[in-house]
Amino acid sequence: MSVSAGFHDAGVEVPLHAAPWLLAVVRPALSQARRWGRPVPREVDVVVEGLEIAAAQTAMSEPGRVTPPTPDIASNSESWITTQEAAEALNFSERHIRRLSETGRLNSQKAHGRLWFRRSDVDEFQCT
């Protein structure tokens, strides 16, 4: 499941983590169009402004900082942990935790490009 956060307007939803990449692609194309005297619709400028805001929000987060889970995860009363935290709790490598998730042996949910694990599922797995 993937829930996008970030700029949302006119039915277009852009994940925060995609905004910097999109800007890197769009900005040169817009510059070139303007250099060649091609008109750029105001709507395109509005979209670029939204992408810039989303990119700034992404850039303001500290390097290595864990992105907060999606609203579905955050609204749940259970506590959620990252792959790294699950690996530390089970004394496994992060790679092994991802394999356990891929094979369905350890339940997880993907959000913002990361795997999230219920603390209760990790504790239960530890007991088996």
Q: What is the CATH number of domain 71-127?
A: 1.10.1660
Question: If 0-12 CB within 10 Å is exposed, 13-18 middle and 19+ buried, where does residue 89 land?
Answer: middle
Per-residue pLDDT 10s for the chain (128 aa) are 333 444 444 556 777 777 777 877 888 888 888 888 888 888 888 787 877 777 766 665 545 444 544 545 555 556 888 899 999 999 999 999 999 999 989 988 887 778 888 888 999 998 87
Distance CA 112, CA 4 (A): 8
Distance CA 7, CA 49 (A): 9
Number of Cβ atoms within 10 Å of the Cβ of 34: 11
pTM attached to this predicted model? 0.44
Annotate 63-99 with DSSP letters as a single string.
TTPPPPPPHHHHHSSS-EEEHHHHHHHHT--HHHHHH
What are the residue boundaries of the structural domains of the chain, listed by start?
8-60, 71-127
